[in-house]
Structure 1
Amino acid sequence: MTPPLAIRQPCPPGVCICEREQLLGEVGADLRILKLNRQAEKELLERLENVQSLDELEHLRRRLQEQLGIKLTLEPGFNEVRTMRGIAIRLADQPGLCRKTRQTIPAAIRRALERRPEIAYRLLDDHDLLRDT
């Protein structure tokens, strides 16, 4: 017999936009995102903050997609990139993804990029800054 799936506790009413109850009410809905409970989120954020290379960051991005269904995009912003804020880190809208989590994942990645700027340089290189000239 398998233990029941540990899912995220509900947010206080009116505080979050995660639509958790709607997701739980849908038949055949993708409930993978609810596996990201508070403890798992802390571990994820720690791992994202301590990333050592762009390859590791890409690996984590793929794992987020595979295991939780979270679509994360990392790319240079539309305008000039002068600081880490110029790098666009976006999570696709998804039912079940907590408002707080939508903010903490990009913040953890920004802290990692600030700590290891060579990752940001490699990201900029991979997106070829001179592509439109």
Structure 2
Amino acid sequence: MLDDPSADLRVLRLTREEEKKLLLRLESLQSYQELVRMQQRMHEQLGIAVTITPSERGVRTVRGINIQIQDQRGLCKKTRQTIPAAIRKCLEKNEAIAFAIVDAHGLLAPTQAQLQSPDPASADLPHDPL
């Protein structure tokens, strides 16, 4: 890897200590925006591309969310496994982030029928101007 002039050497900045800090940070994320920002920072600073998507077969638990790390030279197998595990721990602690991931891919969006039909419960309520 060091002999190849076109190799991306950013991943070599990830020392064992830095990896521990990264994993702790991933486990303690509090919002979907923080998760997206961490994905961007990992890509910018280390060249690690993480893709998080809902499963095509549906999402019933956190295991239904796919967390993939793009193949990259210099990134060890253990790190390739621990980053998704840390993100899963975060999602298990903060279900709102998991719902935001699903919603970001349009799986929680209202259907056209729901948008067009009025809510029967709201029809009985008087409409007060604000």
Task: Report the TM-score when normalising by structure 2.
Answer: 0.81
Matched, 1:119 2:77: no
C-alpha contact 2:10 2:46 (8 A) present in aligned 1: yes
Report the alpha carbon displacement of residue 34 of structure 1 after superposing the two structures with TM.
Answer: 0.5
What corresponds to 1:26 in structure 2?
A: 4
Kindly provide the amino acid, as one letter, of the partner of residue 41 in structure 1. Answer: E
In 2, the alpha carbon distance for the partners of 1:72 and 1:102 equals 10
Kindly provide the amino acid, as one letter, of the partner of residue 44 in structure 1. Answer: L
Higher RCO, Cα 8 Å, sep 6+: 1
In structure 2, which of residues 12, 17, 21 is the aligned counterpart of residue 43 of structure 1?
21
Report the alpha carbon displacement of residue 28 of structure 1 after superposing the two structures with TM.
Answer: 3.5
What corresponds to 1:102 in structure 2?
A: 80
- Spell out the pairing of 1:26-105 with structure 2 (5 A cutoff): 26-105=4-83
Structure 1 vs Structure 2: percent identity of aligned residues? 54
Report the alpha carbon displacement of residue 77 of structure 1 after superposing the two structures with TM.
Answer: 1.1
Kindly provide the amino acid, as one letter, of the partner of residue 77 in structure 2. Answer: R
In 2, the alpha carbon distance for the partners of 1:71 and 1:56 equals 16
Report the alpha carbon displacement of residue 110 of structure 1 after superposing the two structures with TM.
Answer: 0.1
Which residues of structure 1 form unaligned runs of 5+?
1-22
How many residues align structurally?
110
Query: Is the partner of 1:24 in helix, strand or coil?
Result: coil
In 2, the alpha carbon distance for the partners of 1:130 and 1:70 equals 28
Query: Is the partner of 1:70 in helix, strand or coil?
Result: coil
In 1, the alpha carbon distance for the partners of 2:43 and 2:71 equals 13
Supply the RMSD in Å over aligned alpha carbons: 1.3
Report the alpha carbon displacement of residue 48 of structure 1 after superposing the two structures with TM.
Answer: 0.1
C-alpha contact 2:39 2:50 (8 A) present in aligned 1: yes
Report the alpha carbon displacement of residue 27 of structure 1 after superposing the two structures with TM.
Answer: 2.0
The structure having more radius of gyration, on CA atoms, is: 2
Report the alpha carbon displacement of residue 74 of structure 1 after superposing the two structures with TM.
Answer: 0.6
Cα distance change, pair 84–36 in 1 and its aligned pair in 2 (3 A): same
